[in-house]
Chain A
Amino acid sequence: MRSRLSFPWLALRSMWLNARFYLPYLLSCALIVALHYDIQFLNMNTGTDLLPGASSVHGLLSVVVLAVDFFSIFLFVYTNSFLMKRRERELGLYSILGMERRHLRKLLRWETLFAGVISIGGGLLLGIGFSQLFVLLFRAVMQTDVALGFEVPKLAILYTAFVYGLMVLMNLVTNLVRVSFVRPIVLFHTTDVGDREPRTRRLVAIVGVMALGLGYSISFFDNPLENLGLFLLAVLLVIVATYCLFSSASIAILKRLRANASYYYQLRHFFPVANTLHRMRRNATGLATICVLSTMALVTASTTFGMYVGAGVGAAWGNTQEGRALVSAYFFVGLFLSILFLMACALIVYYKQVSEGYEDAPCFATMQQVGMSDDEVDLVVHGENSLAFLPPLAMAACHTLAALPITSRILLAFGITNMGLVLSCTALTLLVYGALYLIAFRIASRTYRRIVAWPAADAARRGYRTGRAVER
């Protein structure tokens, strides 16, 4: 009988049945892989070597790659834990139906293998497609022949595949350990159990504040073009601080809001505050990732923008033939990275909203059964989204401002000394980015609204919450 069970087939089938949860997961993983590849594409492009100051460019790009590697770890853990939570009930059911643990492990191994192949392979294709398209568009729009060409650096592919292969492996080990040591009945009930109420973590908050202070202060004296190591340290410190603060300060703030009865017991605050607080530990990773990507987009875009405008306004070399070629090459790099970060951020926002939508759908069904009207659903959805919207953006803006000394030092290397210009470029970038972010959030929230807006009777019958829908 056992020989009849084909595990690869079973794994594919169960991924298909869980497409609703798997698809956003695969998409966000593929996206980060693409992001990683594309930065490596720049870094390893033979055209980059021809740039004056190539070694600085390589250095900065390497820092960015390391930063992406670094937060990919958080992101992979976050998306994986989201996915596994959805899957554990089904795995528990299998084990109650008589699958042994080693069968579950085998199933998970296949699933993870497929997921890894799809997200890494898909991500690489996505990244290659994007880089080629971007070179094409850039040449067409700017009408210049940038040194950077249509290449697909093999080393970039290998490096990316290696890094994310490791991450997939890390998730696999976590998942295997999880099914190995948990009793099946616990697996079965896990979605009901939910997250415990998170504790306020003072130590994490202190670490966060200290890391932030240290990271910010490095910005005031470090010149990244000279001391790359220190720059990398500052970037990593700020990333760590962001994750720490989002997972501690946010909990403290939400608890304070909840303790204020006249605020909390209003419809537009009640469920949003409780629900956001409840899953804040996992949520924090999503918000912090959005913040880090936003910061990267903002810093790159404002630097690029400042350089482009500054060169036009009259930096010494802005008027020569070679000077202009140089500016357009750097402009290419900056624009490429900015768009990349922006898109990655938008998709993470989307992923977060979609996966939380599926998580919240049964809650909205219950609230509708208890007597919530459609308008009130809108109100609550709006309340919940606005809690998630502003904090990452505000923190990213704060990081960007703290990075101003570094930004202006880089621009100084291009002969741009006009601080007023740098400031107004940064301000404008913030405004434009804020608008784009708002649009991305709107789109994601509309999807969230569609997911949670089930007719109440439908939700009641489908027995979504009891997991019957999964086996449908």
Chain B
Amino acid sequence: MALLEVKHVKKVYKPRLVGVGVTALRDVSFSVRRGEFVAIMGESGSGKTTLLNILAALDKPTSGQVLLEGKDLARTRERDLAALRREHLGFVFQDFNLLDSLTVRDNIFLPLVLANVPHDEMERRLTPLVKTLGIERLVDQYPYELSGGQKQRTAVARALITRPSILLADEPTGALDSHAAESLLRTLGRMNARGQTVLMVTHSTNAASRATRVLFLKDGRVRKQIRRGERDSEAFYAAISRSLAATIRPQRGGATHA
């Protein structure tokens, strides 16, 4: 059974007053198996954030189904959704979304506090995690004292400390400089190598080239998907660029071959 199954998801944003709605997702179907690192690529405005919000049960699809570990999100009560979000999903945002009033340590603890985990267990989980992420010396600092890359690592730690079945990341490198982005991507790759399932949406070819599978989203549909197979990141990068040229940016297609 797939860990996550998305079946014919459609999302129309209804206008506030009258008029036609915005169709952000037309008909999206795909599935994610345990241990995969899936990247979903699409231009800005192609519905990536909408899709992630629906997967995280933060928003409801207009039609279609999302199954997480076989459970239909639409049929889950609001209270159980919150529990599901904190026990099965880890969310990493483009803008980090850390709480300014909490230290790094407390930001990471937040989902555990929500889950009523005893304090010594929190500390037990924290130590190895911050070490892997290279932020062990920052735990007593506040978000405003951190660089973008360090903030995003903190956000990743917060997402992973609950040991989620799947890590959802919305353009996690979007607000980072290339060095910090590179190091974050490497970390995500490492987490995946240890068995963490990752689903990332991005418009960066470089970010997508770290995944094991890439889906291309356009006009509210998944247009194509390619698998890494035995390719290394560079070869995969080239393959993604070619697919992008063919599906998403055909008019500019020629340039990317150079």
Q: Contacting B82 at CB < 8 Å: which of A262, A278, A363, A371?
A: A371
CB distance from B163 to the nearest CB of A (A): 13
Contact between A370 and B85 (Cβ–Cβ < 8 Å)? yes
* B142 lies within 8 A of chain A by Cβ: yes
Contact between B53 and A376 (Cβ–Cβ < 8 Å)? no
Asked if A279 meets B101 with Cβ closer than 8 Å, knowing A265-B113, A373-B82, A456-B58, the reply is: yes
- Chain A interface: which of B34-42, B104-112, B206-214? B104-112
* A1 lies within 8 A of chain B by Cβ: no
* Chain A residues within an 8 Å CB radius of B144: 192-194, 196
Asked if A275 meets B101 with Cβ closer than 8 Å, knowing A375-B79, A461-B49, the reply is: yes
* B216 lies within 8 A of chain A by Cβ: no
Contact between B114 and A194 (Cβ–Cβ < 8 Å)? no
> Residues 365-382 of chain A: 1 if any B CB is under 8 Å from the residue's CB, otherwise 0?
111111111111000000
* Chain A residues within an 8 Å CB radius of B78: 373-374
* A270 lies within 8 A of chain B by Cβ: yes
Contact between A371 and B97 (Cβ–Cβ < 8 Å)? no
CB distance from B140 to the nearest CB of A (A): 10
Contact between B100 and A369 (Cβ–Cβ < 8 Å)? no
Contact between B114 and A370 (Cβ–Cβ < 8 Å)? yes
* Chain A residues within an 8 Å CB radius of B59: 457
Contact between A274 and B82 (Cβ–Cβ < 8 Å)? no
Which of B89, B93, B99 has the most chain A CB atoms closer than 10 A to its own CB? B99
Contact between B113 and A266 (Cβ–Cβ < 8 Å)? yes
* Chain A residues within an 8 Å CB radius of B95: 463, 465-466
Asked if A270 meets B100 with Cβ closer than 8 Å, knowing A194-B144, A371-B85, A374-B78, the reply is: no
- Chain B facing A: main interface SS: helix
* A339 lies within 8 A of chain B by Cβ: no
A456 to B114, CA, bound (A): 16
Q: Contacting B122 at CB < 8 Å: which of A265, A363, A365, A456?
A: A265
A362 to B101, CA, bound (A): 12
Q: What residue in chain A is nearest B82 (Cβ atoms)?
A: A373
* Chain A residues within an 8 Å CB radius of B83: 371, 373
A192 to B79, CA, bound (A): 31
Which of A196, A365, A370, A371 has the most chain B CB atoms closer than 10 A to its own CB? A371
Q: Contacting A369 at CB < 8 Å: which of B56, B109, B113?
A: B56
Q: Contacting B119 at CB < 8 Å: which of A196, A261, A274, A465?
A: A261
A279 to B58, CA, bound (A): 29
* B44 lies within 8 A of chain A by Cβ: no
A356 to B81, CA, bound (A): 28
Within 8 A of A (CB), among B37-89: 49, 53, 56, 58-59, 78-79, 81-87, 89
Contact between A367 and B100 (Cβ–Cβ < 8 Å)? no
Q: What residue in chain A is nearest B79 (Cβ atoms)?
A: A373
Contact between A194 and B86 (Cβ–Cβ < 8 Å)? no
B residues contacting the other copy or chain, number (CB 8 A): 37
> Residues 188-218 of chain B: 1 if any A CB is under 8 Å from the residue's CB, otherwise 0?
0000000000000000000000000000000
A363 to B109, CA, bound (A): 15
CB distance from A439 to the nearest CB of B (A): 29
* A267 lies within 8 A of chain B by Cβ: yes
Q: How many A-B residue pairs have CB under 8 A?
A: 100
> Residues 253-287 of chain A: 1 if any B CB is under 8 Å from the residue's CB, otherwise 0?
00000000110011100110011011100000000
* B116 lies within 8 A of chain A by Cβ: yes
A196 to B103, CA, bound (A): 11
* A460 lies within 8 A of chain B by Cβ: yes
* B158 lies within 8 A of chain A by Cβ: yes
* B133 lies within 8 A of chain A by Cβ: no
* A145 lies within 8 A of chain B by Cβ: no
* Chain A residues within an 8 Å CB radius of B119: 261-262, 265
Q: Contacting B101 at CB < 8 Å: which of A194, A267, A369, A466?
A: A194
A461 to B45, CA, bound (A): 12
Asked if A369 meets B58 with Cβ closer than 8 Å, knowing A270-B113, A278-B101, the reply is: yes
* A100 lies within 8 A of chain B by Cβ: no
Asked if A371 meets B86 with Cβ closer than 8 Å, knowing A193-B144, A363-B99, A460-B93, the reply is: yes
* Chain B residues within an 8 Å CB radius of A457: 53, 58-59
A374 to B114, CA, bound (A): 12
* B238 lies within 8 A of chain A by Cβ: no
* B102 lies within 8 A of chain A by Cβ: yes
* B91 lies within 8 A of chain A by Cβ: yes
Q: What residue in chain B is nearest A362 (Cβ atoms)?
A: B97
Contact between A367 and B110 (Cβ–Cβ < 8 Å)? yes
CB distance from A279 to the nearest CB of B (A): 7
* Chain B residues within an 8 Å CB radius of A465: 95, 97
Q: What residue in chain B is nearest A456 (Cβ atoms)?
A: B58
Contact between B114 and A372 (Cβ–Cβ < 8 Å)? yes
Q: What residue in chain B is nearest A367 (Cβ atoms)?
A: B110
Asked if A270 meets B79 with Cβ closer than 8 Å, knowing A371-B87, A460-B49, A461-B49, the reply is: no
* Chain B residues within an 8 Å CB radius of A197: 142
* Chain A residues within an 8 Å CB radius of B81: 373
Task: Name B residues whose Cβ lies closer than 8 Å to a Cβ of A.
Answer: 49, 53, 56, 58-59, 78-79, 81-87, 89, 91, 93, 95, 97-102, 106, 109-111, 113-116, 119, 122, 142, 144, 158
Known: A270-B106, A270-B113, A373-B83. 11 other contacts (CB 8 A): A197-B142, A261-B119, A267-B116, A275-B101, A363-B99, A366-B99, A370-B86, A370-B111, A373-B78, A376-B82, A457-B59
- A-B contacts, 23 of them at CB < 8 A, read A194-B100, A194-B142, A262-B119, A265-B113, A266-B113, A271-B101, A274-B101, A278-B100, A367-B110, A367-B114, A369-B91, A370-B110, A371-B82, A371-B111, A371-B114, A371-B115, A372-B114, A373-B79, A373-B82, A375-B79, A456-B58, A460-B58, A461-B49
